[in-house]
Every structure is written in structure tokens, then in C-alpha cells.
Copies of this chain bind each other. A is one copy, B any other.
Amino acid sequence: MNNFMKLQFAAVSNNESFARVAVAAFVAQLDPTVEELTDIKTVVSEAVTNAIIHGYEGNPEGVVTVSASIINHTLHLNIEDSGLGIADVEEARQPLYTSKPEMERSGMGFTIMENFMDEITVHSGVGLGTRIQMIKQISNDLTQMN
């Protein structure tokens, strides 16, 4: 069972929950466990929030793109912005590192993405925007095959 979707929306915080629900509804066709679904929603929330806060620094003109494809029982999830980009990706990925402590950011976004997904690749550069590619295998319940 293969499928794909691509979602674009304005970089406003209202759309964080919208993006979570949309991705969860798309992934539902794989019959994920509740835990898998929560992991995916959390990861979407982290990356979309980062695009809004860090990528576009709150500029509502920014556009966030979330794309997802299902290949057999694997979810490929991409979340990207064409905002400011990240100068030092390795530093950014450190647990507790945040460039915006004054906004009460915890610096745990990347750590959560790494823990909840099987693979994550970060493409970013100053002025080039940021693209987060993630992969997660969804448990294959054999009784549910169709």
C-alpha cells in the first residue's frame, strides 16, 4: 500500500495542531498503535513549531511544507521551510541547545525527533531554509492486512 500527500500552510501557530491532525489522519491508514501515532504527532509539532519560530521568526507570510509518503509499512515524513536556516546543525541538534532561551524554548525539539523516529536527516544552511527528513517503520499488524 503506497500513498503520498503534501501539505502547505501559513507559518502561524494556529496551524501547529492542524498539521498534527492532518498527518495523523494520513498515517491512520497504516493502523499504527496509539503510541506510534503520538510519536508522529509530537515530531510534526516539533518540526512545524521550529519552522514557525526559528525559520520564519513569527512572520506569518512564511509557508511551511509537510509531505508524507507511505511505502509499504514505512512512513517518510519531510518538514521544510524556506526561512533563515541553521548555521551549525550539529550544535542545533545537541540536547537542551536553543538559540531562543528568552522564548522559554527547552532545546529538546531535535532530541525528541531523534528519539521518536527511526532516522532523521537535517538539511539546512543560512538563507537556504531547513528541511527535516524523517523515517519511521510502522508496526505491521498481520491481522489487518488488506
Contact = CB atoms under 8 A, between A and B. Distances in A.
Interface string A27-66: 0110000000000000000000000000000000000000
Interface string A1-20: 11111111110101101100
Interface residues of A, number: 21
Given A21-B22, A22-B21, A25-B17, A6 B7 contact: yes
B5 A7 contact: yes
A18 B25 contact: yes
A1 to B, nearest CB: 8
3 tightest Cβ-Cβ pairs between the two chains A and B: A21-B25, A5-B9, A22-B22
20 contacts: A3-B14, A3-B15, A4-B9, A5-B8, A5-B10, A5-B15, A6-B8, A6-B9, A7-B22, A15-B26, A17-B25, A18-B25, A18-B28, A18-B29, A21-B21, A21-B22, A21-B25, A22-B22, A22-B25, A25-B25
